[in-house]
Structure 1
Amino acid sequence: MVEVRARRVRAAVAAAVAVLGAGAACGIAGAEAGSVAGKDRLVIGVNGDQPGVGERGGGGYAGFDIDIAREIARRLGVTGPDVAFKRVRSATREEMLQNGDVDLVVASYSVTPERKVKVSFAGPYYVAHQDILVRAADARKILSIHDLAGRRLCKVRGSVSFPRIHDEQGIAALPVEEDGYSACLTDLVERRLDAVSTDDLILAGLAAKASGSGHRLRVVNAPFTDEPYGVGIRKGDVDGCEAVNKAITGMYQDGTVPKLLGKWFGDTGLKLTTTVPQFEGCV
């Protein structure tokens, strides 16, 4: 009788372990299914107002970030009509990732400790540097960020660029608030502000666009920060992060990233970095 009871107990335990194991397996499968690494279709958040980086025109989205996003998607096995772009703004990137409106964000998205609390980052795929864009006629007056004290400086909602100068460097620039950098460019050429400060890739694209319209602008070439451009990803998607990192590494190893940098910024005079950046790590 004792042996019979023992066999029954062992059988019950084995059954319980089998059920728990099946449940755990389902949980793992569910997590994998939710990762960008396993998706058959990707919605990627991009900017629409940054010439040369991410801009929306009559033919759709174009720019360095757009090409990077397409190439990452291709290396994840997603191509053609299964890759969709959705416009994001500096103030909406975290929310759209958290809500599942986009799967990835490739949008001149600088990695910061504050943002890493809300989302995860793969990469970075490039390290830009914050600089200053001014009217060519004012280039002798504004030589560094210290010359921005008391001057009107564009402040894009949700961007870290203005706080880097005003809060971190303690320079009393006067904010002119806008939703995006195309509006900053318009304000600059129409003399409603004195300078735009953000990442050098963005500034180079803005200057090129203004030049095409007959306006002479100049990048000061006084960089004062490193801005690692990460690929925003849902918090906790480690599999997806590692897959994107693998894609970015391959893009440097086979020359894809240097080629794209040359395509979009080769004629701007910027000093471009073509070695793979140090990754943040997937957490």
Structure 2
Amino acid sequence: MVNGVNEVEGGGDGASSSGSDTVTAARARMLKRQRIDFSDDGSQAHQTTALPGRRCFVTVGATAGFRSLLEEVSTAGFLQGLAAHGYTILDVQCGPDHAAFQSRVAALSDEDRHGVSVRSFGYTGEMNAYILDCRGEENVRPAGCVISHGGTGTIGEVLGVGAPLIVVANPTLMDNHQLELAESLEERGLAVHGHIGTLVSAIDRIAERITQGTLDALPPYSPPPFPVAAADRVTLFDWMVLTCYPDQLAAQTHLSNLGMAEADFANEQQQLPVAGNGNGPALAVNNQENNGMLQLD
């Protein structure tokens, strides 16, 4: 008996118990994840080791703090939401608020944690390893998710790996520019836009995407070739500028148009006949007027 509930014991003729047939939700999920191999005659040949639980990686970036996100992912309600979908590990990159996060986690009871192991650190040089741990791979690990602030660097890494992604905008940064990015990523189907106060619903939506997209059974990850092909060199930062900063795009387009206009004007001047060469009417040159034409704005 474990925690007052009878364990189901595997036997050659089937499972049996000494009382109630009820098992814990966590045990049921574990049994569901196990793969049973059968011989040609239909009898059980052997049982492989169960896949590990899902992993969630939360990152707030290396510069600014995001305490409201850290506070939510260290609540009993959020951990319960993770456990309901088979998550067993929560890794949190806390930035400058690591000590405050540790204090919150230390105050949680075992019951509050719902079987989820919570690990944290301030900064790391191994971001890609934590992201890869959230990428599903057939017969290796189920898909988890990355919960990220709206930093383009982190988002680019997650999208490149193919791990499920929740983007939570940090409203304290640069005119809330991360909100535009999060909304645009969701519109394009690249990520779930998560909101402070309702992150459990974002985890529910990630679970739907994992099921619909068979993200638990991806092939092994292969890093992209280097150098990157010319057709694929548009970075996430370039895409963000083009989609989320229309004023900047308009300014860049205006400058580009001015440059082309100046080049066209210079070409036209070169094609006009020179004064006094007998090939056509003379070109009157007025330096003051010509300079004024070139000062485009």
Asked if these proteins are the same fold (TM beyond 0.5), I'd say no
Shorter chain as normaliser: what TM range? under 0.3
Per the normalisation by structure 1, the TM-score is 0.25
The structure that is strand-richer by fraction is 1
The structure whose Rg is larger is 2
